[in-house]
Amino acid sequence: MSDVRQSAKVLTCSDGVVHGTREDRSGEALAQFLGDNGFEVVERRVTADGTENVADALREMCAGFAGLVVSTGGTGFAPRDQTPEGTRAVIEREAPGIAEAMRSCNPLGRLSRGVAGVLGDAIIVNTPGSTKGCVEQLDAVIDVLPHALRLLWDSDSSH
């Protein structure tokens, strides 16, 4: 990775955190992990579960932003777990290899419906709401994300 710290944002998707009945442990863990891996976390946000809530938050967070947006929560099977649907509603292109690598890091990863993709100059990745799971899944791809961002921003696509 270069000497330049790349920017990142963390979005926690959780009705419980929004309503104050749960602590945002996974958002904190992701922010710490990103900082430890050369990213500057420039924003942390919380939104309620649900497709439209997630889509609206991602649109706002990616507007005019060049960097990585990592969501935590809402990737499971509960009725309100709609983070992947909200993400798909806003991304311009999916990055299935990133999502597949994230799921393959742990047997429980197969239960994640998370997606990854591009919106403008940002790469969005969905991680589970589990503190351990979100860090494990991001760790599975953190090594390729700086290069992916450089590719996204490279106007010379001659390769």
Per-residue pLDDT of the chain (159 residues; tens, 9 = 90+): 444 579 999 999 999 999 999 999 999 999 999 999 999 999 999 999 999 999 999 999 999 999 999 999 999 999 999 999 999 999 999 999 999 999 999 999 999 999 999 999 999 999 999 999 999 999 999 999 999 999 999 866 555
Residue 1 lies in a domain: no
Q: Give the residue numbers spanning the domain of 93.
A: 6-153
CA atoms within 13 A on the CB side of 74: 32
Q: Is residue 158 part of a domain?
A: no
**Contact, 60 vs 27, CB < 8 A?**
no
Q: Rounded to two decimals, what is the model's pTM?
A: 0.94
Beta bridge partners of residue 124, listed in sequence order: 69, 117
Domain CATH code at residue 92: 3.40.980.10
Give the chain's domain count.
Answer: 1
pLDDT of residue 156: 62
Type of residue at 24: D
